[in-house]
């Protein structure tokens, strides 16, 4: 199983690793900074030595780095990894912003997605309770209040005893290791989450609610964009 360095340090944008498997379309490594698509967050892209990483996917308990072409890369090679950092940092900003959005809108979250240019959460709520200007003002207030974020681990059993820590019904936190990660924005939000976040909400920068739209009876979608 690869060491997932982004979980302890999401700011690590480069490192060295060893190729442990070459598969059709990509490689596995002994350690990685590349976040695989999951939990609503888009996959990382970047470079492994001279090879371009165009996608990153979970593969069993490992991570598949999908390469533009695999020609010339081989098991045992020591390689330098480098993320498309600006893109990843935008994903971290949007991801953390969704934790704040979930705290501003008091309703069950039915889904969510984080892309590099926008992010959304779906809520089980009546349309008329979602007021664009109000959400935007409260969200930007939480951002400019500069809360420190933190992460810690709890066991699966502890999580089972506290079901309120699973906020997003359709995006369950990654399981199977016997532990899950809790992400806390003190006084604002506490939930199980495996994604990458910024250290301080001030780093998110000013956001706009770009759209509020009904996606069905139990899905009212609030979309955020950088202001
Ligand atoms: Zn998160």
| Distance in Å, CA 23 to ligand 1 centroid | 30
Distance CA(32)–CA(48), nearest Å, equals: 10
Q: Work out the mean pLDDT of the chain and round it to a whole number.
A: 94
Pair 77, 20: CB distance under 8 Å:
no
Contact between 108 and 123 under an 8 Å Cβ cutoff? The reply is yes
Q: Stretch 121-141: mean pLDDT, rounded?
A: 97
Give residue 164's pLDDT. Answer: 83
Distance (Å) from CA 213 to ligand 1 centroid? 23
| Helices 132-144 and 85-104, axial angle in degrees (round to 10) | 120
Other beta carbons less than 10 A from residue 172's beta carbon = 12
User: Ligand 1 centre and the CA of 24: distance in Å?
Assistant: 31
Nearest to 64 by CA among 24, 92, 91: 24
- pLDDT per position as a tens digit, 165-195: 887 755 666 677 788 889 999 999 999 999 9
Give the distance (Å) from ligand 1 centre to CA of residue 92. Answer: 9
Q: Percent of the chain beyond pLDDT 90? A: 82
Centroid of ligand 1 to alpha carbon of 164 (angstroms): 15
For 67-104, write each residue's pLDDT tens digit: 999 999 999 999 999 999 999 999 999 999 999 999 99
pLDDT average, residue stretch 129-147: 98
Quote the ligand 1 centre to 25 CA distance (angstroms).
29
Q: Which residues surround ligand 1, an ion (CB under 5 A)?
A: 193, 195
Q: What are phi and psi of 76, to 5 degrees?
A: 95, -15
Q: Both tokens of residue 23?
A: 């598969």
Which residues, other chains included, contact 105 with Cβ-Cβ below 8 Å and sequence gap of 6+?
121, 123, 125, 130, 135, 222
Quote the pTM value. Answer: 0.94
154 CA distance to ligand 1 centroid (A)? 15
| CA-closest candidate to residue 104, choices 200, 219, 224 | 224
Cα 41 from Cα 47, distance rounded (Å): 19
Query: For residue 195, how far is its CA from the centre of ligand 1 (angstroms)?
Result: 5
Q: What is the DSSP string of the chain?
A: --EEHHHH-TT--EEEEEEEEEETTEEEESEE-PPPSBTTBPPP-EEETTEEEEEEEEETTEEEEEES--TT--TT-EEEEEE-HHHHHHHHHHHHHHHHHHHHS-S-EEEEEE-SS-EEEEESS-GGG--HHHHHHHHHHHHHTT-B-EEEEEEHHHHHH-GGG--BTTSPPP-SSSEEEEEEETTTEEEE--S---SBGGGG--EEEEEEEE-STT-EEEEEEE-
49 Cα: distance to centroid of ligand 1 (angstroms): 29
User: From ligand 1's centre to the CA of 183, what distance in Å?
Assistant: 7
Q: CA–CA separation, 127 vs 52, rounded Å?
A: 43
Measuring CA to CA, how many Å separate 192 from each of 71, 79, 169, 171? 39, 33, 12, 10
Distance 103 CA to ligand 1 centre (A): 12
Section 148-152 average pLDDT? 95
Q: What is the mean pLDDT of residues 27-40?
A: 96
Distance 29 CA to ligand 1 centre (A): 24
Ligand 1 mean position, distance from CA 181 (Å)? 9
Distance in Å, CA 196 to ligand 1 centroid: 6
Q: From ligand 1's centre to the CA of 93, what distance in Å?
A: 10
């Amino acid at each position: 199983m690869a060491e997932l360095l982004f979980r302890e340090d999401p700011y690590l944008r480069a490192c060295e690793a060893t190729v442990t498997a070459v598969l059709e379309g990509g490689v596995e490594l002994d350690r990685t900074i590349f976040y695989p698509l999951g939990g609503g967050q888009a996959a990382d892209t970047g470079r492994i030595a001279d090879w371009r990483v165009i996608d990153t996917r979970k593969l069993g308990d490992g991570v598949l780095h999908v390469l533009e072409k695999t020609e010339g890369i081989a098991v045992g090679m020591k390689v330098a990894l480098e993320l498309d950092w600006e893109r990843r940092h935008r994903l971290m900003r949007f991801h953390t912003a969704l934790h704040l959005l979930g705290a501003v809108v008091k309703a069950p979250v039915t889904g969510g997605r984080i892309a590099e240019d926008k992010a959304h959460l779906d809520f089980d709520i009546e349309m008329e309770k979602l007021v664009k200007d109000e959400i935007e003002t409260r969200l930007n207030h939480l951002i400019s209040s500069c809360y420190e974020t933190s992460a810690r681990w709890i066991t699966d059993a502890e999580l089972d005893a506290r079901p309120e820590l699973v906020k997003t019904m359709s995006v369950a936190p990654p399981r199977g290791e016997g532990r899950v990660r809790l992400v806390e924005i003190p006084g604002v939000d506490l939930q199980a989450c495996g994604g990458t976040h910024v250290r301080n909400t001030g780093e998110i920068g000013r956001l706009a609610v770009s759209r509020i739209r009904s996606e069905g009876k139990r899905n009212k979608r609030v979309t955020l964009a950088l202001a």
